[in-house]
A and B are shown apart, each in its own frame.
Chain A
Amino acid sequence: MTGPRPPRLPLALLTWRLPENEPLIGDLIEEFGHRRSRVWFWRQTIVALVLARRQPRRHVAPLGLSSDPSDIRREEIRVPINLSASPLPGAGGLGLVALGVVVAIVRPGAWWFVVAAIAGGLVLGFVKVLRTRRRFRKDSGSFLLRHGERHPAPPPRG
């Protein structure tokens, strides 16, 4: 990269949260080369992240279940549900490990707290799964299908 380097943290956030919006990130880097204002870059980053979050979400099919099996495109963009209820997708388990490490350092005797948190998370996860399954059955009026079962390979031509 030529010219001044944009701040690392907002750039990493953009790359992580908006990987599909490469042209926007490129525009911000290019414009930063002219403006050279870190405040400007941070402001643009925050607005881009907030707006991306406010855009309509992609179809979510928890645990590989689909309410509309006829829609093949939805099969491709299926998003797994975050059972740990973490605001950061994919960071739920990592957050739990970090919590365990912090508790082990600060209060080694409070191991039961981590166990209780894991048990609580599991119970919450199962409840969410059951409720979501029930809602899918009610909304779609059809049966639930596991990923891949609806679209069997076509019979060989002969």
Chain B
Amino acid sequence: MPPRLLTDFELMLLLATLRVGDEAYGVEIAREIERTGGRRVLLGAAYTALDRLEQRGYVMSTIGDPSPERGGRAKRFFRVTPRGLKAVKDTQRALVALWKDLPQLKEKRT
């Protein structure tokens, strides 16, 4: 069975979660994508995609403690699972294979 590839947004979410590390929750993941990937993130869209990734077993989440600056709401921390890591690698492999040997993408040397 061929590996299931991630969409660009799912890939960004997983990579940002890996980059942020243990403190990966909605706001930090969105900021990391904006800072590094240059893409604006709507938090509702991020949570919808993260829910989907959790259902597939690519991430797992835990609920933290409530804090006053969040109106007494708790944070939800995300962590990439080994299965999620494999999905990232599979997607990377597929994209790199597509990328290779394309004359249109080769830089012209003067």
Contacts and interface: CB of A to CB of B under 8 A. Distances in A.
A31 B71 contact: no
A157 B16 CA distance: 54
Interface residues of A, number: 27
A1 B72 contact: yes
Residue among A3, A29, A50, A52 having the largest count of chain B Cβ atoms under 10 Å: A29
Contacts of A47: 42, 44-45
A52 B43 CA distance: 12
Nearest to A45: B44
Nearest to B51: A55
A2 B75 contact: no
Contact of B70 (A21, A30, A44): A30
B71 A26 contact: yes
B73 A29 contact: yes
A30 B66 CA distance: 12
A1 B68 contact: yes
Interface in B39-77: 42-45, 47-48, 51, 63, 66-76
Contacts of B30: 27, 31
Tell me the interface secondary structure of chain A in the complex. helix
Interface residues of B, number: 23
Contact of A52 (B44, B70, B71, B76): B44
A25 B44 contact: no
Interface in A1-54: 1-3, 6, 11, 21-31, 33, 43-45, 47-52
Contacts of A24: 26, 43-44, 47
Given A2-B68, A2-B69, A27-B25, A44 B44 contact: yes
A50 B42 CA distance: 12
15 contacts: A6-B71, A23-B26, A23-B47, A23-B76, A24-B47, A26-B66, A26-B67, A26-B71, A27-B30, A29-B71, A29-B73, A31-B27, A47-B44, A48-B43, A51-B48
Interface of A: 1-3, 6, 11, 21-31, 33, 43-45, 47-52, 55
